[in-house]
């Protein structure tokens, strides 16, 4: 049978039904559209970061380009911070300052970003920048002052909470005073420096008060303030340079008296005055009345969590008593750690502790952050008094029964490590 006629073929294979070539695309809901846009933004941000690698300059360029495309990005705070960090590394301080202030605009109640802006503006800003920095300092003061005691850490006493607030306020008043000084507003500067010194007597505030007095030709007051700054320069609270203060003091004294005759006696009198003014807050008596070291409950540094020496009972306890200000302690510490490492894996027999004896415990956290000792650190909490520790460093070994089996005072690198190891082994055996 031959092929069908054309008209017959059409009947066998009819045309498809009439209609559009492609079905219509269903529009995205607002929620879907937002999710899609966020995903695209995240991809672009990830690409900008990956392409920069470890190149700080490329990172900053890429993030700035990203912000041109996504100026309202939800991740602006993190991006601004990354730009600030990169620009500081590149010493591009105008950019660092600009984006630090943008962070403030986004998070006006954030203490850290306000303080970062103040730091950059004070160092690299102009008069208008210093004025803005004054406003940021004022805001920080308001935030600190209204912080309720209920927000304190559970490990922090109410007394310590208020003391820390006072110290923070004193620090910010000092910074704002310096800014007023730059802005040539001596009355405002004087008020802030006096407020700072009144809360926490410190050499930096006294030095600035001396400068203001010298500028207004009040040499007796300038001499007194410089002498106070000199007397306090070694305290943890002060940051003045003692040689620089000494030069200012000597200059003011010579202007007033023609020579430096009598200056030494005057400084000694002011040192005595400063000693009665700056009275360290007494530490609370801990473990008072206890006679057995194994009954002591120490505090771990720096967080203050409890550490009961009873948990070490039946073990040899090796104690290194030290303080942050003690130079020989710094020399002995790596040796003590080396001895501790010698007994690694024998924790069921011997325990090593670094025992801090600072009067001002606020010195300890930054010291530990810098030195990063591997041996656990506790505050003395009266154990130094019980064991009659009067010089630093002092290394003690307590036997399994809590009795002193070994004592060494000071630091002598010659053979001390092996002597201590032998003493520990002897205490373990007995």
In the chain, the number of structural domains is 2
- Please give the Cα distance from 56 to 2 (Å, whole number): 81
Banded model confidence at residue 297, pLDDT cuts 50, 70, 90: very high
Banded model confidence at residue 414, pLDDT cuts 50, 70, 90: confident
- Please give the Cα distance from 409 to 352 (Å, whole number): 17
User: What are 51's strand-pairing partners?
Assistant: none
Banded model confidence at residue 412, pLDDT cuts 50, 70, 90: confident
**Among 279, 303, 334, residue at a domain's last position:** 279
The reply to whether 410 and 310 lie within a common domain is yes
Conformational region of residue 333, where left means phi above 0, alpha means psi within -120 to 50, and beta covers everything else: alpha
The reply to whether 303 and 358 lie within a common domain is yes
Mean pLDDT computed over 108-132: 92
pLDDT on residue 218: 95
Domain of residue 361, CATH code: 3.40.30.10
The reply to whether 265 and 361 lie within a common domain is no
Among 216, 237, 353, residue whose Cα is nearest residue 296: 353
Residue 132: inside a domain: no
Strands 297-300 and 377-379: antiparallel
Among 291, 205, 201, residue whose Cα is nearest residue 240: 205
Instruction: State the CB neighbour count (10 A cutoff) for residue 364.
Output: 17
The reply to whether 317 and 208 lie within a common domain is no
The reply to whether 338 and 297 lie within a common domain is yes
Residue 89: inside a domain: no
Half-sphere exposure of 428 (CA within 13 A, CB side): 14
The reply to whether 275 and 299 lie within a common domain is no
Residue 229: inside a domain: yes
> In this predicted model, which residue has the larger pLDDT, 3 or 74?
74
Strands 316-322 and 350-356: parallel
Phi and psi at residue 97, in whole multiples of 5°?
Answer: -65, -45
The reply to whether 303 and 221 lie within a common domain is no
- Please give the Cα distance from 123 to 128 (Å, whole number): 13
- Please give the Cα distance from 425 to 343 (Å, whole number): 10
Per cent of the chain over pLDDT 90 is: 51
pLDDT on residue 281: 53
The reply to whether 417 and 307 lie within a common domain is yes
The reply to whether 237 and 269 lie within a common domain is yes
Asked if residue 285 has pLDDT above 50, the reply is yes
The reply to whether 330 and 272 lie within a common domain is no
Conformational region of residue 289, where left means phi above 0, alpha means psi within -120 to 50, and beta covers everything else: left
The reply to whether 383 and 313 lie within a common domain is yes
pLDDT on residue 142: 94
Choice among 52-66, 94-108, 223-237 with the minimum mean pLDDT = 223-237
**Among 234, 256, 279, residue at a domain's last position:** 279
Residue 152: inside a domain: no
Mean pLDDT computed over 353-379: 89
Cis peptide before 302 (omega within 30 of 0): yes
Distance of CA 382 to the CA centre of its chain: 27
pLDDT on residue 29: 66
> In this predicted model, which residue has the larger pLDDT, 28 or 416?
416
Domain interval for residue 340: 293-429
The reply to whether 269 and 330 lie within a common domain is no
**Among 220, 246, 279, residue at a domain's last position:** 279
Distance of CA 183 to the CA centre of its chain: 28
Q: What is the pLDDT of residues 177-193, one digit of tens each?
A: 999 999 999 999 999 99
pLDDT on residue 11: 45
Q: Which two tokens stand for residue 384?
A: 């130094």
Cis peptide before 53 (omega within 30 of 0): no
Residue 253: inside a domain: yes
Q: What is the pLDDT of residues 326-340, one digit of tens each?
A: 888 988 999 999 999
Residue 181: inside a domain: no
The residue whose two tokens read 């003045």 is: 240
SS (H, E, C) the chain: CCCCCHHHHHHHCCCCCCCCCCCCCCCCCHHHHHHHHHHHHHHHHHHHHHHHCCCHHHHHHHHHHHHHHCCCCCCHHHHHHHHHHHHHHCCCHHHHHHHHHHHHHHCCCCHHHHHHHHHHHHHHCCHHHHHHHHHHHHHHHHHHHCCCHHHCCCCCCHHHHHHHHHHHHHHHHHHHHHHHHHCCCHHHHHHHHHHHHHHCCCHHHHHHHHHHHHHCCCHHHHHHHHHHHHHHCCCCCCCCCHHHHHHHHHHHHHHHHCCCCCHHHHHHHHHHHHHHHCCCCCCCCCCCCCCCHHHCEEEECCCCCEEEHHHHCCCEEEEEEECCCCHHHHHHHHHHHHHHHHCCCCCCCEEEEEEECCCCHHHHHHHHHHHCCCCCEEECCCHHHHCCCCCCCEEEEECCCCCEEEEEECCCCCCHHHHHHHHHHHHHHC
Among 329, 372, 327, 380, residue whose Cα is nearest residue 353: 380
Q: In residues, how long is the chain?
A: 430
Q: What is the pLDDT of residues 252-270, one digit of tens each?
A: 999 999 999 999 999 999 9
Residue 386: inside a domain: yes
pLDDT on residue 272: 86
Residue 165: inside a domain: no
């Amino acid at each position: 049978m031959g092929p069908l006629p054309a008209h017959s073929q059409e009947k066998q294979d009819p045309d498809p039904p009439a209609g559009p070539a492609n079905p219509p695309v269903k529009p995205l809901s607002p929620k879907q559209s937002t999710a899609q846009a966020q995903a695209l933004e995240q991809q672009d941000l990830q690409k900008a970061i990956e392409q920069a690698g470890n190149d700080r300059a490329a990172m900053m360029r890429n993030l700035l380009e990203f912000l041109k495309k996504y100026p309202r990005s939800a991740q602006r705070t993190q991006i601004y911070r990354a730009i600030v960090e990169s620009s500081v590394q590149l010493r591009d301080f105008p950019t660092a300052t600009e984006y630090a202030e943008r962070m403030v605009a986004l998070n006006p109640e954030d203490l850290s970003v306000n303080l970062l802006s103040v730091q950059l503006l004070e160092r690299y800003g102009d008069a208008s920048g210093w004025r803005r920095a004054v406003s940021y300092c004022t805001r920080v003061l308001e935030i600190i002052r209204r912080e309720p005691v209920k927000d304190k850490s559970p490990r922090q006493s109410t007394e310590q909470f208020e003391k820390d607030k006072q110290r923070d306020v004193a620090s910010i008043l000092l910074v704002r005073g310096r800014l007023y000084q730059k802005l040539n507003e001596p009355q405002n500067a004087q008020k802030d420096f006096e407020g700072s010194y009144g809360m926490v007597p410190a050499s930096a505030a006294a030095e600035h008060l001396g400068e203001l007095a010298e500028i207004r030709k009040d040499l007796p007051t300038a001499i007194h303030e410089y002498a106070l700054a000199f007397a306090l320069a070694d305290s943890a609270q002060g940051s003045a340079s003692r040689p620089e203060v000494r030069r200012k003091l000597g200059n003011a004294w010579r202007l007033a008296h023609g020579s430096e005759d009598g200056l030494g006696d005057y400084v000694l009198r002011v040192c005595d005055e400063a000693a009665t003014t700056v009275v360290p807050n007494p530490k609370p008596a801990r473990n008072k009345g206890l006679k057995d070291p194994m009954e002591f409950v120490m505090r771990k540094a720096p967080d203050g969590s409890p550490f009961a020496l009873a948990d070490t009972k039946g073990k040899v306890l090796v104690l290194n008593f030290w303080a942050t200000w003690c130079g020989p302690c710094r020399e002995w510490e790596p040796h003590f750690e080396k001895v501790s490492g010698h007994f690694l894996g024998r924790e069921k027999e011997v325990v090593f502790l670094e025992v801090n004896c600072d009067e001002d415990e606020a010195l300890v956290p930054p010291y530990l952050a810098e030195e990063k000792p591997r041996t656990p650190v506790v505050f003395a909490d009266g154990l130094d008094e019980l064991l009659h520790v009067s010089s630093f460093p002092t290394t003690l070994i307590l036997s399994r029964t809590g009795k002193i089996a070994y004592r060494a005072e000071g630091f002598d690198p010659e053979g001390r490590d092996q002597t201590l190891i032998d003493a520990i082994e002897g205490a373990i055996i007995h």
